[in-house]
Amino acid sequence: MDQAIAARGLLKRYKGVIALDGVDLTVPSGTVLGLLGPNGAGKTTIVRVLSTLLRPDGGSAEVMGVDVLSRPAEVRRRIGLSGQYAAVDEYLTGYENLDMIGRLYHLGARRSRARARELLASFRLEDAADRPTRTYSGGMRRRLDLAGALVADPPVIFLDEPTTGLDPRGRTDMWEVIQTLVAGGTTVLLTTQYLEEADVLADEIVVIDHGRIIAQGTADQLKRQVGGERLELTVADAALLPRVTEALTPLGVAAPTVDEGRRAFLIPVSGGPDVLSEALRRLDDAGVALEDVGLRRPTLDDVFLALTGRAAEPGDEDAPDEQGGA
């Protein structure tokens, strides 16, 4: 099986609002696809269609070669889903939650119990195993929810915004868990609003906006689309900026951007560290005192900004709310 997930022309409309407008996706086995976009872009809708929770108005999809629309029950045997809202029962203990999920995967009583204990141990939830999950922290609940998706060891896992709302510590914990999973050969489709997250976890990134794919490729390919490196610096006094502009403009491959308020100067360059040392030499000659200087490659934030004309801030209020049925 070379394609774990394949979708063609997915369409979904909610009361006149187009949620998915012809989405094609393929995820090779054993790889991670990061689905990136602001709230309401259609990420959750794609996950709900592929995990059999939602019927699209058009298009087709297969998971592990099984048709999602005509054989949903068989697809469910091959997938694990961990949602945006930790779908664990808050009055059940961690152990009871996982045991219940095992039985509903029809693993049988003995295997369900053993698997629950095993997962609690590997997700560092052993100490909390017999406490109702409403006493868990947000990060613990997310880990338990992810553990729930892994009970039957499915070959394909859908993770819908696995780290939204977690603190930085919880986020890096979660990343580690996901990376371990992928190292074991699981295929993962991950949605996220965090560009950094897609950069760290995904082999391939699909950028989606208004239900349409607007870019796709590896993180590096996407960054290259936006352009090469930029030289960024901050001067001690805004009055120095004209002198900086005069000294450095010849080094750039495009026009510089000057931000007087932040006393910042930015110019796209090519040539790597040599350009940086040449720039420093010129600034020294011009007698400009610097507070900060650096050469940086574009981040996925720059990618998103370039592609959509707006920043990829979590909680973009312009977009329809995906959860509210829009």
Partner 1 sequence: MAVPHVIADAAVVAKRNIIKIKRVPDLLVFTTLSPIMFVLLFSYVFGGAIDQQGGGAAYREFLIAGIFAQTVIFGATVTGAALAEDLKKGILDRFRSLPMAPSAVLTGRTFSDVVNNVIVLVVMGLTGLVVGWRIRSSWLDALAGVGLLLVFAYAISWIMAWIGMLVPSPEVVNNASFVVIFPLTFVANTFVPLETLPAPLQTFAEWNPVSSVTQAARELFGNIPPGTPEPTAWPLQHPEVYTLLWSALFLLVFVPLANAQYRVSTSR
Taken in order 176, 35, 167, 297, is the CA torsion positive or negative?
Answer: positive
Task: Determine if 165 is a binding residue for partner 1 (CB under 8 A).
Answer: no
Structure tokens that stand for 54 in this block: 């939602």
CA distance 232 to 198: 24
Minimal distance, residue 118 CB to partner 1, in Å: 19
- Residues in contact with partner 1, counted by CB under 8 A, come to a total of 32
Among 39, 52, 187, 191, binds partner 1 (CB under 8 A): 52
Among 1, 57, 67, 91, binds partner 1 (CB under 8 A): 91
Among 51, 186, 191, 216, binds partner 1 (CB under 8 A): 51
Choose the stretch contacting partner 1; rule: CB under 8 A; options: 3-11, 101-109, 183-191, 297-305. Answer: 101-109
**Between 68 and 241, whose beta carbon lies closer to partner 1?**
68
**Between 105 and 123, whose beta carbon lies closer to partner 1?**
105
Task: Determine if 18 is a binding residue for partner 1 (CB under 8 A).
Answer: no
**Between 86 and 198, whose beta carbon lies closer to partner 1?**
86
Choose the stretch contacting partner 1; rule: CB under 8 A; options: 48-56, 63-71, 274-282, 305-313. Answer: 48-56
**Binding to partner 1 (CB under 8 A): which residues in 125-154?**
132, 148
CA distance 265 to 235: 8
Task: Determine if 100 is a binding residue for partner 1 (CB under 8 A).
Answer: yes
Minimal distance, residue 26 CB to partner 1, in Å: 21
Q: Provide the mask over 269-298, with x wherever binding to partner 1 is found by CB under 8 A and - wherever it is not.
A: ------------------------------
Evaluate whether 12 touches 19 at the Cβ level (below 8 Å). Answer: yes
Task: Determine if 116 is a binding residue for partner 1 (CB under 8 A).
Answer: no
Task: Determine if 65 is a binding residue for partner 1 (CB under 8 A).
Answer: no
Evaluate whether 95 touches 129 at the Cβ level (below 8 Å). Answer: yes
Choose the stretch contacting partner 1; rule: CB under 8 A; options: 49-57, 187-195, 238-246, 249-257. Answer: 49-57
Task: Determine if 218 is a binding residue for partner 1 (CB under 8 A).
Answer: no
Would you tell me which residues interact with partner 1 (CB under 8 A)?
51-55, 73-74, 76-77, 79-81, 83-92, 96, 100-101, 103-106, 132, 148, 325
